[in-house]
Amino acid sequence: MAARPEPAHEPETGLSARDAAILDFERQWWRHAGAKEEAIRSQFQLSAARYYQLLNVVIDTPDAVRHDPMLVRRLQRARDARTNARAARTFTSTDHGLAPDAESND
């Protein structure tokens, strides 16, 4: 079975070299030894939080979709699923933010 060829970095995609590198990293980060956060710091000199902020901005651009449509759609679906799961947890909470001793004692 042949490996999937990597998309060429085409100047007309409009992606910066850093944005293209972020997408390329996401496509194959599992090949790096060690934890993903360590690989992020090593390759991009960024904290994991900052990397994910940049990634979320990049995957919302049409240029990223042109660069690697399948990867970008997969990343968008994963992000949307995490957002929906977080919202569901927030809206199903029953404590309404009150501390246990803040309840009324009528």
8 Å CB contact between 54 and 102: no
Q: pTM value?
A: 0.69
Q: What is the mean pLDDT of residues 95-102?
A: 55
Q: What is the mean pLDDT of residues 92-102?
A: 57
Domain definitions of the chain by residue range: 15-90
Q: What is the mean pLDDT of the chain?
A: 82
* pLDDT tens by residue, 40-74: 999 999 999 999 999 999 999 999 999 999 999 99
Three-state DSSP class for residue 46: coil
* pLDDT tens by residue, 1-14: 444 444 444 456 68
8 Å CB contact between 46 and 36: no
